[in-house]
Structure formats: C-alpha cells, structure tokens
Structure 1
Amino acid sequence: MGNDLKVNMNEYLPLRDVVFNTLRQAILKGELAPGERLMEIQLAERLGVSRTPIREAIRKLELEGLVLMIPRKGAEVAKISEKSLRDVLEVRRSLEELAIELACQRMTEEEVDALEQTQEVFKEAVACGDAMKIAETDETYHDVIYKGTGNDRLVQILNNLREQMYRYRLEYIKDEDKRQILLLEHDKILKAVKLRRVEEAKEAMREHIDNQEITVSKNIKEQEG
C-alpha cells in the first residue's frame, strides 16, 4: 500500500462523504489495487481521520460492489470478474435499449441539442486524453438520454446501476485504442436520435454496450493471465 492517498476536503460535504469519495476514486484509479486489503487503522492514519468515517465508507463501497467483505479477514478491494461484468452489462444493455427507444420518441428539440453539446464536450475530453474526464463526460452523455425518456422510474433504476457501471466504463476507457470507436458510437446514436430512427438507435446502443463487454472481458482475462 503506497502513501499517495490525499483527502480533498470540501466544506460543503460531511467528512464521511469526503472519505468515501477519496477511497472510491483511489479504487477506480487503481491506487488501491484489486485484492488489496483495506485496514481501517492504516487508512485512518493515511487520511488523518478517525476510524468511524473509514468504516462507513467501506460499508458504502461494499454496497457499490467495489469492496468485498471476507469472513475472518476483513475488507478488500473487489476484483473485476467476468461474471460481475456480465451481470451488470446484461442489465445495462436492456435498460439502455429501452431508454434510447423512449428518448427517440420523446426528446424535445432542446434535449436533442443538449445531447449534441454533450457530445462536443466528450470529444474535447477524448482529445485531452484524461481517462477520468472521458468517463465523466461519457456518463453525462448517457444522462441526457435518460432524462430525455421522461420516465422518472427508469432514470432512478439507471442511476442506481451507475456506480456499478462506472468501474467498467473506466476500465474500457483506459484502452486508448477504443476512444475513437466510442466517439463514433456516440455519433451514431446521436444521428439516429436526431432522425427519430428508433431501431437504428437501439442497434447503435446495443453495439456500444457489446463493444464495452468484449474489450473489458479481454482486459480481465489478460490481467488474470
């Protein structure tokens, strides 16, 4: 365990949320590696906080699937497994197809313009090459589609899945060769939405999710090998 964890204090957030965000980012960025044990005392010392917010953060990270509680051993960073990837993406694929179908039918012209603007921001992030920024702008792109469905319950379910998707999203984006493909996929989806072509949009979205599964699955196999 290195000593490079930094707490970014935020006067608007309670300490437990700051600690949670710090540990979450460290896991997503790989600063806390898959399989690494999370020792409350050590983490409290490194972050200069008491054990209580550490314990609360670990509990929340377990709910997100980022941390695993091992009997008689304690907490450790969850490994990315092919099974968990498949489980999450099977659900995501169905929900995203439904979302894009509804968005195609219901998005206002203003919302379509917002999707176009979000794609421009995504392009800029890809050009800069910062993986975290690309992941965030990719997430925002999908958020605009979700909002365009006009279905609050669907948005709520997709938001609940968001945290579990984020790790795979980041893992996909780390593969620099795939970033241009991502851009083209977003363009394809956007074009279909603008033309209100439902089947075309659903097919583009399905391809978008399938490519993510293929790439991340390959990366997992390589890491295990």
Structure 2
Amino acid sequence: MPLWEGVYQILREAIVEGDLLPGEHLAEQQLAEELGVSRTPVREALRRLALEGFVVMVPRRGSYVAGLSLKDMNDVFELRMALEGLGAYLAAQRITPQELIAVRESQAQLEVAIAANDQNEVISADTRFHSLIYAASRNRRLIHIIGNLSDQIQGFRLKSLFAPGRLRDTAREHKRLIMALERRDGLVARRLAEEHVRQAEVSLLRSQEKMTGADERSNVSGRRVDSGGGAEQQETNGGESGII
C-alpha cells in the first residue's frame, strides 16, 4: 500500500467517526509529524479526500474538514435513494439463499439491540443489514459509491436513526424489504429501499427543525421588546434571563 493511502485511510476514518470536526484545520506539517511521515503523502491524502468531498482545500489558507449543509445532505440523500433502490433491485435478482439467511439474522440482531436499547449494536446491525444487500447486488462500483456517500453523512445518518420513533419504523421497513427479496420482486424491493431512505431523510429533517427551533427559542429567551421596538436583556430575580 502506498504511504499516502495509509494516511488517507487514517484521516478519512477520523473524519467519518467525528474525531476531526467540520471546519477543523488540517495542517500538513502537524499531521506529518503526528503520523511520522513527510508532508508529501499527507498532501496526496488531502487531495484524495478533497476529491471525495471530505476536505475543502482553500488556496493560500490550507485544508479544512468539509462541513455539510442541509442542502448538501439533501443532495446526498437523493443520490442514496437512487443508488440504494438500484442495489435492492439487483439484489432481489441475485441474492443467494445463504445471503438471505444472513440478512434475516442481521434483522433479528437489530430487533434485539433495539429492545435492549443498545445503540452501538443497533448501528452495527443496521450497517450489516444494508451491507449484505449491497453485496448481493454483485455490483462493486455501486457498493463503493454508496459506501462513500454513507460515510459523508455518517453524523446525519446516526441522528436520523435515533430520531424519536425512527428505530421502530426502521425495523418495520427492513422486514418489508426482506419479504420483497424473498419473493425476488425487484421492482417492489427498489420502491421499498427508496422509501426507506426517503423516510430516514424526513425523520432527520424533522429532528433538525426541532433543534433549530429550540436554538431560536433559546436565543429569544431572556429578551423583551422595549417601547422603542428594540430588544433588551431582562434579568429575573433568580439572575436568569426570561421572557416577559
């Protein structure tokens, strides 16, 4: 493996796992010292990450971990919807009996994890469920593209998965998809996979809207409109700001 590729994998994993946060500066010299390499493989790794959308390279300023806006997220979900629909369509035609057993087992593990409120196992079982279906499509390029898109929105994806009520819906949607795969009904499998991604996005957007609304209420809290139409801080007796 080329040296730059090892650096690339380390940095990519750190970004996906949230160890490197959006907007964080990626100084070549510092990274080179931390990883025990020269700046050349670090530079090559950053270029690769920039091509994949994980890093933004700003002339004369350096490289930064890319952030994802809600518009970016929507774009990625649209792509995932199309690609995962195709993956399910192909899997319905190509999946083996052994792979179907593995898909059912991963679904059973997911349901056990949900009942036990084991978030780590929920993530593992859900990822395994989808990975098995991707693999059954027998299309390596499709698998690679979907994996890359999923990594780019890993933080969004986890927020979606654990939004209120979403786990229950996820389990139900998975079961319907399994039934379509068992019947080898590619058209239904495609529709169900697309709907699964669509509902994940809807759930995420709702949770984001609630968070935004809470932030806005927090910003408004403790301020009142005075007679001149301006806003001024009002302290309560307890020393905390409140709306009056």
**Alignment TM-score > 0.5, same fold:** yes
Superposition CA RMSD, Å: 3.0
Whole-Å Cα distance in 2 between the matches of residues 94 and 85 of structure 1? 14
Q: Percent identity?
A: 35
Greater Cα offset, 120-129 or 83-92: 120-129
Which of these residues, 98, 103, 125, is aligned with residue 86 of structure 2?
A: 98
1:47 equivalenced with 2:35 (yes/no): yes
How many angstroms apart in 2 are the aligned matches of 1:57 and 1:124? 39
Partner of 1:156: 141
Q: Is 2:130 the counterpart of 1:142? A: yes
How many pairs does the alignment contain? Answer: 208
Aligned to 1:146, the other structure's residue is in SS state helix
Letter in 2 for 1:160: I
Alpha carbons of structure 1 residues 66 and 108: separation in structure 2 relative to 1, 3 Å: same
Within the candidate set 97, 100, 119, 1:129 is matched to 119
In structure 2, do the counterparts of structure 1 residues 144 and 22 end up closer, same or farther at CA, with 3 Å as the change threshold?
same
Q: Is the CA contact 2:159–2:204 (under 8 Å) kept in the aligned structure 1? A: no
Deviation string, structure 1 residues 1-45 (Cα, Å, up to 9, x no partner): xxxxxxxxxxxx665344323222221222221111111122223
2:238 — aligned with what?
none
How far apart, in 1, do the equivalents of 2:206 and 2:39 lie? Answer: 38
- TM-aligned CA deviation for residue 219 of structure 1: 5.9
Runs of 5+ consecutive residues of structure 1 not aligned to the other structure: 1-12
Q: Which residue of 1 aligns with 2:235?
A: none
Q: Structure 1 pair 108/29, CA: closer, same or farther in 2 (3 Å)?
A: closer
How far residue 163 of structure 1 moved from its aligned partner, in angstroms, is: 1.3
1:206 equivalent to 2:194? Answer: yes
The 8 Å contact of residues 135 and 143 in structure 2, kept in 1 or not, is answered as no
In structure 2, C-alpha distance between the alignment counterparts of 1:197 and 1:82, rounded to whole Å: 34
Shift of 1:68: 0.8
**How far apart, CA to CA, are the structure 2 residues paired with 1:29 and 1:205?**
25
**Contact 1:27 1:77 (C-alpha < 8 Å) held by counterparts:** yes
Residue from 111, 122, 130 that aligns with 2:99: 111
Structure (1 or 2) with the larger CA radius of gyration: 2
Q: Which amino acid aligns with 1:190?
A: I
Say if 2:170 and 2:196, in contact at 8 Å, map to a contact too. Answer: yes
Structure 2 residue 25 is the aligned partner of structure 1 residue 37: yes
Deviations 1:139-169, CA, capped at 9 Å, x for gaps: 432232233334x3xx313413421222324
When normalised by structure 2's length, the TM-score is 0.70
Against the structure 1 CA distance between its residues 70 and 129, is the aligned structure 2 distance closer, same or farther, given a 3 Å change threshold? same
CA contact under 8 A between 1:103 and 1:193: conserved in structure 2? yes
- CA distance in 2 between counterparts of 1:169 and 1:123 reads 21
Whether contact under 8 Å (1:64, 1:164) holds in the other structure is no
Listed as ranges, the gaps of 5+ residues in structure 2 are: 217-244
Instruction: Report the TM-score when normalising by structure 1.
Output: 0.75
Residue 237 of structure 2: aligned partner:
none
* Equivalent residue, structure 1, for 2:57: 69
Residue 88 of structure 2 contacts residue 190 of structure 2 at CA under 8 Å; is this kept in 1? Answer: yes
- Give 1:54's aligned amino acid: V
Query: Which of 158, 161, 167 in structure 2 is aligned with 1:173?
Result: 158
**TM-superposition CA deviations, 1:56-80 (whole Å, max 9, x none):** 2212211221101122212111111
